[in-house]
Chains A and B, each alone.
Chain A
Amino acid sequence: MSARPGLWAGAAAVWGKELRGEWRARYSIGSSLLFAAVTLAVLSFAAGPQARRPETAAVLLWTVLLFSATASLSHAFAREVEGGTWDLLRQAAGPGEVLLGKWLAGLSVLGLVEGFILAGGALLVAPSVGHPGGLCAILVAGTVALAVGLPLVAALLAQARSHGGLAAALAFPVLVPAVFASVSGTRRALEGTWPGGELRILVAFAAALALAGWRLFDFVWED
Protein backbone atom coordinates (compact mmCIF):
# COMPACT_ATOMS: atom_id res chain seq x y z
CA MET A 1 0.00 0.00 0.00
CA SER A 2 1.17 3.53 -0.65
CA ALA A 3 1.65 6.30 1.91
CA ARG A 4 -1.33 7.67 3.80
CA PRO A 5 -2.53 11.06 2.65
CA GLY A 6 -2.12 14.01 4.97
CA LEU A 7 -4.93 16.28 6.10
CA TRP A 8 -4.48 18.71 3.23
CA ALA A 9 -4.22 16.00 0.57
CA GLY A 10 -7.46 14.44 1.85
CA ALA A 11 -9.14 17.85 2.01
CA ALA A 12 -7.99 18.56 -1.55
CA ALA A 13 -9.56 15.28 -2.68
CA VAL A 14 -12.87 16.23 -1.05
CA TRP A 15 -12.64 19.75 -2.48
CA GLY A 16 -12.03 18.37 -5.97
CA LYS A 17 -14.91 15.92 -5.66
CA GLU A 18 -17.27 18.68 -4.50
CA LEU A 19 -16.35 21.02 -7.35
CA ARG A 20 -16.55 18.26 -9.94
CA GLY A 21 -20.01 17.28 -8.71
CA GLU A 22 -21.07 20.93 -8.61
CA TRP A 23 -19.81 21.53 -12.13
CA ARG A 24 -21.72 18.55 -13.49
CA ALA A 25 -24.96 18.80 -11.55
CA ARG A 26 -25.09 22.56 -10.79
CA TYR A 27 -26.50 21.72 -7.37
CA SER A 28 -26.10 25.15 -5.92
CA ILE A 29 -24.44 27.53 -8.38
CA GLY A 30 -27.49 27.74 -10.61
CA SER A 31 -29.99 28.48 -7.84
CA SER A 32 -27.58 30.87 -6.10
CA LEU A 33 -26.89 32.90 -9.21
CA LEU A 34 -30.56 33.05 -10.12
CA PHE A 35 -31.46 34.10 -6.60
CA ALA A 36 -28.71 36.72 -6.60
CA ALA A 37 -29.77 38.13 -9.96
CA VAL A 38 -33.45 38.37 -9.00
CA THR A 39 -32.97 39.86 -5.54
CA LEU A 40 -30.32 42.29 -6.74
CA ALA A 41 -32.57 43.51 -9.52
CA VAL A 42 -35.70 43.72 -7.35
CA LEU A 43 -34.06 45.36 -4.34
CA SER A 44 -32.09 47.88 -6.35
CA PHE A 45 -35.20 48.75 -8.32
CA ALA A 46 -37.30 49.08 -5.14
CA ALA A 47 -34.71 51.21 -3.35
CA GLY A 48 -34.15 53.42 -6.39
CA PRO A 49 -31.46 56.11 -6.02
CA GLN A 50 -31.34 55.43 -2.25
CA ALA A 51 -29.62 52.11 -3.02
CA ARG A 52 -26.43 54.09 -3.62
CA ARG A 53 -26.33 55.32 -0.02
CA PRO A 54 -23.66 53.42 1.93
CA GLU A 55 -26.02 52.06 4.61
CA THR A 56 -28.55 50.85 2.02
CA ALA A 57 -25.92 49.44 -0.35
CA ALA A 58 -24.27 47.55 2.52
CA VAL A 59 -27.57 45.99 3.63
CA LEU A 60 -28.46 45.18 0.02
CA LEU A 61 -25.10 43.53 -0.64
CA TRP A 62 -25.08 41.33 2.46
CA THR A 63 -28.75 40.39 2.22
CA VAL A 64 -28.13 39.03 -1.28
CA LEU A 65 -24.84 37.46 -0.23
CA LEU A 66 -26.27 35.79 2.86
CA PHE A 67 -29.20 34.20 1.08
CA SER A 68 -27.14 33.21 -1.95
CA ALA A 69 -24.61 31.63 0.39
CA THR A 70 -27.40 29.83 2.23
CA ALA A 71 -28.77 28.53 -1.07
CA SER A 72 -25.35 27.28 -2.16
CA LEU A 73 -23.85 25.95 1.06
CA SER A 74 -26.72 24.67 3.16
CA HIS A 75 -27.07 21.34 1.35
CA ALA A 76 -23.41 20.30 1.43
CA PHE A 77 -23.96 17.55 3.98
CA ALA A 78 -27.63 16.78 3.38
CA ARG A 79 -26.72 15.67 -0.15
CA GLU A 80 -24.28 13.13 1.29
CA VAL A 81 -26.87 11.75 3.70
CA GLU A 82 -29.70 11.67 1.15
CA GLY A 83 -27.51 10.25 -1.60
CA GLY A 84 -26.33 7.36 0.57
CA THR A 85 -22.69 8.48 0.26
CA TRP A 86 -22.24 9.66 3.85
CA ASP A 87 -21.01 6.25 5.02
CA LEU A 88 -18.82 5.89 1.92
CA LEU A 89 -17.17 9.16 2.86
CA ARG A 90 -16.91 8.27 6.57
CA GLN A 91 -15.38 4.91 5.75
CA ALA A 92 -12.71 6.43 3.51
CA ALA A 93 -11.94 9.83 5.03
CA GLY A 94 -11.30 11.44 8.38
CA PRO A 95 -13.60 14.13 9.79
CA GLY A 96 -10.97 16.85 9.50
CA GLU A 97 -10.39 16.15 5.82
CA VAL A 98 -14.09 16.24 5.05
CA LEU A 99 -14.80 19.42 7.00
CA LEU A 100 -11.79 21.22 5.54
CA GLY A 101 -12.62 20.03 2.02
CA LYS A 102 -16.22 21.16 2.37
CA TRP A 103 -15.10 24.52 3.72
CA LEU A 104 -12.76 25.04 0.77
CA ALA A 105 -15.43 23.98 -1.70
CA GLY A 106 -17.94 26.33 -0.07
CA LEU A 107 -15.45 29.15 -0.22
CA SER A 108 -14.82 28.47 -3.91
CA VAL A 109 -18.50 28.45 -4.79
CA LEU A 110 -19.21 31.48 -2.63
CA GLY A 111 -16.30 33.36 -4.22
CA LEU A 112 -17.80 32.77 -7.64
CA VAL A 113 -21.29 33.83 -6.54
CA GLU A 114 -19.82 36.88 -4.82
CA GLY A 115 -18.00 37.92 -7.97
CA PHE A 116 -21.29 37.77 -9.83
CA ILE A 117 -23.09 39.78 -7.14
CA LEU A 118 -20.40 42.46 -7.05
CA ALA A 119 -20.42 42.78 -10.81
CA GLY A 120 -24.22 43.00 -10.80
CA GLY A 121 -24.17 45.45 -7.89
CA ALA A 122 -21.64 47.68 -9.64
CA LEU A 123 -23.83 47.67 -12.74
CA LEU A 124 -27.25 48.16 -11.10
CA VAL A 125 -26.44 50.20 -8.01
CA ALA A 126 -22.97 51.63 -8.69
CA PRO A 127 -22.26 52.97 -5.20
CA SER A 128 -19.18 55.11 -4.68
CA VAL A 129 -16.50 53.26 -2.75
CA GLY A 130 -14.56 55.53 -0.38
CA HIS A 131 -12.08 52.89 0.81
CA PRO A 132 -11.67 50.06 -1.76
CA GLY A 133 -9.05 48.27 0.36
CA GLY A 134 -11.34 48.27 3.38
CA LEU A 135 -14.22 46.98 1.27
CA CYS A 136 -12.09 44.14 -0.11
CA ALA A 137 -10.92 43.20 3.38
CA ILE A 138 -14.47 43.16 4.76
CA LEU A 139 -15.71 41.13 1.79
CA VAL A 140 -12.99 38.53 2.26
CA ALA A 141 -13.43 38.32 6.05
CA GLY A 142 -17.23 38.22 5.85
CA THR A 143 -17.16 35.60 3.10
CA VAL A 144 -14.78 33.40 5.07
CA ALA A 145 -17.04 33.71 8.14
CA LEU A 146 -20.05 32.63 6.07
CA ALA A 147 -18.14 29.83 4.34
CA VAL A 148 -16.99 28.49 7.70
CA GLY A 149 -20.30 28.93 9.51
CA LEU A 150 -22.83 27.77 6.94
CA PRO A 151 -21.39 24.30 6.26
CA LEU A 152 -21.14 23.78 10.00
CA VAL A 153 -24.82 24.57 10.44
CA ALA A 154 -25.56 22.45 7.37
CA ALA A 155 -23.71 19.51 8.92
CA LEU A 156 -25.71 19.84 12.11
CA LEU A 157 -28.94 20.15 10.14
CA ALA A 158 -28.11 17.07 8.04
CA GLN A 159 -27.97 15.07 11.26
CA ALA A 160 -30.87 16.94 12.87
CA ARG A 161 -33.05 13.86 12.69
CA SER A 162 -30.85 12.20 15.26
CA HIS A 163 -29.82 15.30 17.17
CA GLY A 164 -33.20 16.90 17.75
CA GLY A 165 -34.33 20.40 16.88
CA LEU A 166 -31.35 22.12 18.43
CA ALA A 167 -29.51 22.49 15.13
CA ALA A 168 -32.14 24.64 13.47
CA ALA A 169 -32.16 26.97 16.45
CA LEU A 170 -28.38 27.32 16.19
CA ALA A 171 -28.30 28.62 12.63
CA PHE A 172 -29.56 32.11 13.36
CA PRO A 173 -27.21 33.12 16.20
CA VAL A 174 -24.27 31.46 14.43
CA LEU A 175 -24.57 33.66 11.36
CA VAL A 176 -26.13 36.91 12.53
CA PRO A 177 -23.05 38.39 14.31
CA ALA A 178 -20.98 37.88 11.17
CA VAL A 179 -23.60 39.53 8.98
CA PHE A 180 -24.01 42.48 11.38
CA ALA A 181 -20.24 43.07 11.41
CA SER A 182 -20.04 42.68 7.63
CA VAL A 183 -22.85 45.20 7.02
CA SER A 184 -21.34 47.71 9.42
CA GLY A 185 -17.86 47.27 7.97
CA THR A 186 -19.08 47.56 4.40
CA ARG A 187 -20.94 50.78 5.23
CA ARG A 188 -17.81 52.28 6.77
CA ALA A 189 -15.64 51.23 3.83
CA LEU A 190 -18.12 52.77 1.38
CA GLU A 191 -18.04 55.97 3.43
CA GLY A 192 -14.24 56.02 3.20
CA THR A 193 -13.22 54.72 6.63
CA TRP A 194 -11.00 51.70 7.34
CA PRO A 195 -13.33 49.19 9.08
CA GLY A 196 -10.73 47.95 11.59
CA GLY A 197 -13.13 47.11 14.42
CA GLU A 198 -15.46 45.09 12.20
CA LEU A 199 -12.52 43.26 10.65
CA ARG A 200 -11.26 42.24 14.07
CA ILE A 201 -14.75 41.00 14.98
CA LEU A 202 -15.05 39.02 11.74
CA VAL A 203 -11.59 37.45 12.00
CA ALA A 204 -12.18 36.51 15.64
CA PHE A 205 -15.65 35.21 14.81
CA ALA A 206 -14.41 33.12 11.86
CA ALA A 207 -11.56 31.72 13.96
CA ALA A 208 -13.91 30.86 16.83
CA LEU A 209 -16.37 29.23 14.42
CA ALA A 210 -13.59 27.24 12.77
CA LEU A 211 -12.31 26.06 16.12
CA ALA A 212 -15.78 25.19 17.40
CA GLY A 213 -16.58 23.48 14.09
CA TRP A 214 -13.42 21.44 14.28
CA ARG A 215 -14.38 20.21 17.75
CA LEU A 216 -18.12 19.82 17.13
CA PHE A 217 -17.74 18.00 13.85
CA ASP A 218 -16.71 14.81 15.60
CA PHE A 219 -20.22 14.60 17.04
CA VAL A 220 -21.73 14.98 13.59
CA TRP A 221 -19.29 12.42 12.25
CA GLU A 222 -20.20 9.70 14.75
CA ASP A 223 -23.26 7.64 14.01
Chain B
Amino acid sequence: MSDGVPARAGFEVRLENVVGRYGEKDVVGPLTVRFAGPGLYWILGPNGSGKSTLLRMMAGLKRPGAGRVRWLRGGEDLRADRLRHVSGIAAPEIQLYRDLSLRENLEFLARLRGNGARAGVRVALERAGMEGLADAQPMSLSSGQRQRARLAAAWLGDPELLLLDEPSTNLDAEARDWLYAEVRARARDTLCVVTTNQRQEPAASEPRLDLGALDPR
Protein backbone atom coordinates (compact mmCIF):
# COMPACT_ATOMS: atom_id res chain seq x y z
CA MET B 1 0.00 0.00 0.00
CA SER B 2 1.26 3.49 -0.72
CA ASP B 3 0.09 5.22 2.46
CA GLY B 4 3.33 4.34 4.24
CA VAL B 5 1.30 1.98 6.38
CA PRO B 6 2.02 -1.74 6.09
CA ALA B 7 -0.79 -3.89 4.77
CA ARG B 8 -2.87 -5.53 7.52
CA ALA B 9 -1.89 -2.89 10.05
CA GLY B 10 -4.60 -2.82 12.73
CA PHE B 11 -7.78 -1.35 11.27
CA GLU B 12 -10.17 0.66 13.37
CA VAL B 13 -13.49 2.36 12.87
CA ARG B 14 -14.40 5.04 15.38
CA LEU B 15 -17.82 6.55 15.67
CA GLU B 16 -17.67 9.86 17.51
CA ASN B 17 -21.07 11.16 18.65
CA VAL B 18 -22.51 9.80 15.46
CA VAL B 19 -26.18 10.26 14.68
CA GLY B 20 -27.69 8.25 11.84
CA ARG B 21 -30.59 9.81 9.95
CA TYR B 22 -33.05 8.16 7.65
CA GLY B 23 -34.80 10.93 5.78
CA GLU B 24 -35.54 13.60 8.35
CA LYS B 25 -35.67 11.19 11.27
CA ASP B 26 -32.82 10.31 13.62
CA VAL B 27 -32.78 6.52 13.78
CA VAL B 28 -29.61 5.86 15.74
CA GLY B 29 -27.27 7.69 18.09
CA PRO B 30 -25.63 9.76 19.25
CA LEU B 31 -23.12 6.95 19.52
CA THR B 32 -19.46 6.89 20.44
CA VAL B 33 -18.02 3.45 19.72
CA ARG B 34 -14.65 2.03 18.69
CA PHE B 35 -14.35 -1.10 16.58
CA ALA B 36 -10.72 -2.21 16.67
CA GLY B 37 -9.55 -4.97 14.37
CA PRO B 38 -8.82 -7.67 13.80
CA GLY B 39 -11.90 -9.22 15.29
CA LEU B 40 -15.60 -9.87 14.92
CA TYR B 41 -18.14 -7.38 16.27
CA TRP B 42 -21.89 -7.76 16.21
CA ILE B 43 -24.49 -5.05 15.95
CA LEU B 44 -27.79 -6.31 17.29
CA GLY B 45 -31.20 -4.76 17.17
CA PRO B 46 -34.75 -5.23 15.98
CA ASN B 47 -35.95 -4.07 12.57
CA GLY B 48 -35.85 -0.28 12.32
CA SER B 49 -33.28 0.16 15.08
CA GLY B 50 -30.74 1.69 12.68
CA LYS B 51 -28.37 -1.27 12.12
CA SER B 52 -28.21 -0.82 8.36
CA THR B 53 -27.88 2.95 8.64
CA LEU B 54 -24.99 2.50 11.05
CA LEU B 55 -23.27 0.01 8.74
CA ARG B 56 -23.74 2.28 5.73
CA MET B 57 -22.08 5.11 7.64
CA MET B 58 -19.22 2.78 8.57
CA ALA B 59 -18.84 1.87 4.88
CA GLY B 60 -18.67 5.53 3.90
CA LEU B 61 -21.89 5.22 1.90
CA LYS B 62 -23.84 7.59 4.11
CA ARG B 63 -22.86 10.77 5.90
CA PRO B 64 -23.69 10.92 9.58
CA GLY B 65 -26.44 13.36 10.48
CA ALA B 66 -24.11 14.58 13.23
CA GLY B 67 -20.72 13.57 14.62
CA ARG B 68 -18.09 11.86 12.53
CA VAL B 69 -16.85 8.45 11.47
CA ARG B 70 -13.10 7.87 11.43
CA TRP B 71 -11.22 5.02 9.77
CA LEU B 72 -7.69 4.32 10.99
CA ARG B 73 -4.99 2.01 9.65
CA GLY B 74 -2.05 1.47 11.93
CA GLY B 75 -3.27 4.38 14.05
CA GLU B 76 -3.30 6.81 11.11
CA ASP B 77 -6.47 8.32 9.72
CA LEU B 78 -7.53 6.93 6.39
CA ARG B 79 -9.28 9.29 3.99
CA ALA B 80 -12.85 8.31 3.19
CA ASP B 81 -12.08 8.18 -0.53
CA ARG B 82 -9.40 5.52 0.14
CA LEU B 83 -11.79 3.31 2.05
CA ARG B 84 -13.02 1.51 -1.04
CA HIS B 85 -9.60 -0.03 -1.60
CA VAL B 86 -9.57 -1.75 1.79
CA SER B 87 -13.22 -2.46 2.59
CA GLY B 88 -16.13 -4.57 1.41
CA ILE B 89 -19.81 -4.53 2.27
CA ALA B 90 -22.71 -6.88 1.65
CA ALA B 91 -26.24 -5.70 2.31
CA PRO B 92 -29.66 -6.88 1.16
CA GLU B 93 -30.30 -3.73 -0.87
CA ILE B 94 -26.96 -3.85 -2.70
CA GLN B 95 -27.33 -5.84 -5.92
CA LEU B 96 -24.91 -7.09 -8.53
CA TYR B 97 -25.31 -6.11 -12.19
CA ARG B 98 -27.96 -8.32 -13.73
CA ASP B 99 -26.48 -8.16 -17.25
CA LEU B 100 -23.06 -9.34 -16.16
CA SER B 101 -22.14 -12.82 -15.05
CA LEU B 102 -20.99 -13.36 -11.50
CA ARG B 103 -17.38 -13.56 -12.68
CA GLU B 104 -17.74 -10.36 -14.75
CA ASN B 105 -19.30 -8.56 -11.79
CA LEU B 106 -16.38 -9.47 -9.57
CA GLU B 107 -13.78 -8.68 -12.22
CA PHE B 108 -15.37 -5.26 -12.65
CA LEU B 109 -15.26 -4.62 -8.91
CA ALA B 110 -11.66 -5.86 -8.70
CA ARG B 111 -10.62 -3.45 -11.44
CA LEU B 112 -12.28 -0.54 -9.65
CA ARG B 113 -10.98 -1.36 -6.19
CA GLY B 114 -7.54 -2.29 -7.42
CA ASN B 115 -7.64 -5.50 -5.45
CA GLY B 116 -8.14 -9.12 -6.16
CA ALA B 117 -7.42 -9.24 -9.88
CA ARG B 118 -8.42 -12.44 -11.62
CA ALA B 119 -6.88 -14.79 -9.09
CA GLY B 120 -8.72 -12.94 -6.32
CA VAL B 121 -12.00 -13.32 -8.18
CA ARG B 122 -11.53 -17.07 -8.38
CA VAL B 123 -10.65 -17.28 -4.70
CA ALA B 124 -13.62 -15.10 -3.66
CA LEU B 125 -15.99 -17.31 -5.67
CA GLU B 126 -14.51 -20.49 -4.24
CA ARG B 127 -14.77 -19.20 -0.67
CA ALA B 128 -18.45 -18.42 -1.33
CA GLY B 129 -19.03 -21.85 -2.84
CA MET B 130 -19.99 -20.23 -6.14
CA GLU B 131 -17.20 -21.33 -8.46
CA GLY B 132 -19.58 -23.59 -10.38
CA LEU B 133 -21.93 -20.67 -11.03
CA ALA B 134 -19.30 -18.12 -12.03
CA ASP B 135 -20.78 -17.68 -15.50
CA ALA B 136 -24.37 -17.39 -14.33
CA GLN B 137 -26.12 -14.03 -14.21
CA PRO B 138 -27.41 -12.93 -10.80
CA MET B 139 -31.08 -13.05 -11.79
CA SER B 140 -30.77 -16.72 -12.69
CA LEU B 141 -29.65 -17.61 -9.17
CA SER B 142 -31.77 -18.58 -6.19
CA SER B 143 -32.09 -16.04 -3.39
CA GLY B 144 -29.61 -18.00 -1.27
CA GLN B 145 -27.12 -18.16 -4.13
CA ARG B 146 -27.55 -14.43 -4.72
CA GLN B 147 -26.72 -13.86 -1.08
CA ARG B 148 -23.55 -15.93 -1.47
CA ALA B 149 -22.72 -13.88 -4.57
CA ARG B 150 -23.07 -10.65 -2.55
CA LEU B 151 -20.74 -12.11 0.07
CA ALA B 152 -18.18 -13.03 -2.60
CA ALA B 153 -18.29 -9.43 -3.86
CA ALA B 154 -17.83 -8.12 -0.32
CA TRP B 155 -14.79 -10.22 0.55
CA LEU B 156 -13.22 -9.97 -2.89
CA GLY B 157 -9.53 -9.17 -2.43
CA ASP B 158 -9.58 -9.91 1.31
CA PRO B 159 -10.49 -6.41 2.53
CA GLU B 160 -9.24 -5.19 5.89
CA LEU B 161 -12.73 -4.03 6.86
CA LEU B 162 -15.63 -6.37 6.13
CA LEU B 163 -19.16 -5.10 6.80
CA LEU B 164 -22.03 -7.56 6.55
CA ASP B 165 -25.63 -6.44 6.95
CA GLU B 166 -27.80 -9.36 8.04
CA PRO B 167 -25.70 -11.78 5.96
CA SER B 168 -27.67 -14.88 6.97
CA THR B 169 -30.75 -13.59 5.12
CA ASN B 170 -32.03 -16.24 2.68
CA LEU B 171 -29.48 -18.82 3.86
CA ASP B 172 -30.55 -22.20 5.18
CA ALA B 173 -29.22 -23.58 8.47
CA GLU B 174 -26.28 -25.36 6.85
CA ALA B 175 -25.30 -22.28 4.87
CA ARG B 176 -25.56 -20.11 8.00
CA ASP B 177 -23.12 -22.42 9.78
CA TRP B 178 -20.76 -22.18 6.80
CA LEU B 179 -21.13 -18.38 6.70
CA TYR B 180 -20.29 -17.79 10.34
CA ALA B 181 -17.38 -20.22 10.25
CA GLU B 182 -16.06 -18.25 7.27
CA VAL B 183 -16.58 -14.88 8.97
CA ARG B 184 -14.92 -16.07 12.19
CA ALA B 185 -11.95 -17.36 10.19
CA ARG B 186 -11.66 -14.01 8.42
CA ALA B 187 -11.90 -12.12 11.72
CA ARG B 188 -8.47 -13.46 12.68
CA ASP B 189 -6.85 -10.82 10.47
CA THR B 190 -9.80 -8.64 9.43
CA LEU B 191 -12.12 -6.23 11.19
CA CYS B 192 -15.54 -7.81 10.63
CA VAL B 193 -18.72 -6.03 11.69
CA VAL B 194 -21.93 -8.00 11.28
CA THR B 195 -25.51 -6.89 11.92
CA THR B 196 -28.27 -9.28 12.90
CA ASN B 197 -31.65 -9.32 14.59
CA GLN B 198 -31.10 -12.94 15.68
CA ARG B 199 -29.82 -12.79 19.25
CA GLN B 200 -28.64 -16.40 19.13
CA GLU B 201 -26.18 -15.78 16.28
CA PRO B 202 -23.31 -14.14 18.21
CA ALA B 203 -21.23 -16.40 20.43
CA ALA B 204 -21.30 -15.42 24.12
CA SER B 205 -17.69 -14.22 24.04
CA GLU B 206 -18.06 -11.99 20.98
CA PRO B 207 -18.39 -8.22 21.48
CA ARG B 208 -21.69 -6.71 20.52
CA LEU B 209 -23.43 -3.38 20.27
CA ASP B 210 -27.11 -3.79 21.07
CA LEU B 211 -29.02 -0.93 19.49
CA GLY B 212 -32.26 -2.24 20.98
CA ALA B 213 -30.87 -1.69 24.46
CA LEU B 214 -29.94 1.96 23.86
CA ASP B 215 -32.17 4.76 25.10
CA PRO B 216 -34.73 5.56 22.45
CA ARG B 217 -34.47 9.07 21.05
Q: Is B93 an interface residue (CB 8 A)?
A: yes
Q: Is B1 an interface residue (CB 8 A)?
A: yes
Name the segment of B9-17, B42-50, B55-63, B179-187 touching the other chain. B55-63
Verify A20–B99 contact, CB threshold 8 A.
yes
Closest to A101 in B: B112
Verify A92–B112 contact, CB threshold 8 A.
yes
Verify A20–B85 contact, CB threshold 8 A.
no
CB distance from A148 to the nearest CB of B (A): 22
A1-28 contact mask (Cβ, 8 Å, vs B): 1 or 0: 1111100011001101100110011000
Verify B104–A2 contact, CB threshold 8 A.
no
Contact of B97 among A3, A10, A85 (CB under 8 A): A85
Residue among A10, A13, A21, A92 with the highest chain B CB neighbour number at 10 A: A92
Q: Is A165 an interface residue (CB 8 A)?
A: no
Contact of B99 among A4, A21, A92 (CB under 8 A): A21
Task: Given A13-B112, A21-B100, A223-B63, verify A2-B93 contact (CB < 8 Å).
Answer: no
Verify A88–B63 contact, CB threshold 8 A.
no
Verify B95–A83 contact, CB threshold 8 A.
yes
Q: Is B207 an interface residue (CB 8 A)?
A: no
Contact of A24 among B96, B99, B109 (CB under 8 A): B99
CB-defined contacts of B100 to chain A, threshold 8 Å: 17, 20-21
Verify A3–B114 contact, CB threshold 8 A.
yes
CB-defined contacts of A10 to chain B, threshold 8 Å: 111-112
B69-107 contact mask (Cβ, 8 Å, vs A): 1 or 0: 000000000000100111111010111111110001000
Verify A88–B61 contact, CB threshold 8 A.
no
CB-defined contacts of B94 to chain A, threshold 8 Å: 84-85, 87-88, 91
Q: Is B175 an interface residue (CB 8 A)?
A: no
Q: Is A114 an interface residue (CB 8 A)?
A: no
CB distance from A83 to the nearest CB of B (A): 6
* Size bracket, chain B contacts: 35 or more
Verify B59–A91 contact, CB threshold 8 A.
yes
Q: In whole angstroms, what is the CA distance A92 to B82 when docked?
A: 10
Closest to B82 in A: A4
Q: Is B108 an interface residue (CB 8 A)?
A: yes
CB-defined contacts of B127 to chain A, threshold 8 Å: none
CB-defined contacts of A198 to chain B, threshold 8 Å: none
Residue among A5, A9, A21, A88 with the highest chain B CB neighbour number at 10 A: A88
Verify B97–A21 contact, CB threshold 8 A.
yes
Verify B95–A93 contact, CB threshold 8 A.
no
Chain A contacts with B in 11-54, Cβ cutoff 8 A: 13-14, 16-17, 20-21, 24-25
Q: In whole angstroms, what is the CA distance A20 to B61 when docked?
A: 26
CB distance from B91 to the nearest CB of A (A): 7
CB distance from B208 to the nearest CB of A (A): 24
CB distance from B163 to the nearest CB of A (A): 9
CB-defined contacts of B31 to chain A, threshold 8 Å: none
Q: In whole angstroms, what is the CA distance A132 to B9 when docked?
A: 61
Q: Is B2 an interface residue (CB 8 A)?
A: yes
CB distance from B4 to the nearest CB of A (A): 14
Q: Which residues of B contact A (CB under 8 A)?
A: 1-2, 7, 56, 59-63, 81, 84-89, 91, 93-100, 104, 108-109, 111-117, 153, 157-158
Q: Which residues of A contact B (CB under 8 A)?
A: 1-5, 9-10, 13-14, 16-17, 20-21, 24-25, 83-85, 87-88, 90-94, 97, 222-223
Contacts A3-B114, A88-B94 known; 14 new A-B pairs at CB < 8 A: A1-B114, A1-B116, A2-B115, A2-B117, A4-B2, A14-B112, A21-B99, A24-B99, A88-B153, A91-B59, A91-B60, A92-B109, A94-B84, A223-B63
Ordered by A's residue number, 20 sampled pairs between the chains whose C-beta atoms are within 8 Å are A1-B7, A2-B116, A3-B2, A3-B114, A16-B108, A17-B100, A17-B108, A20-B99, A20-B104, A21-B99, A21-B100, A24-B99, A84-B95, A85-B96, A85-B97, A88-B97, A91-B60, A91-B61, A91-B84, A91-B89
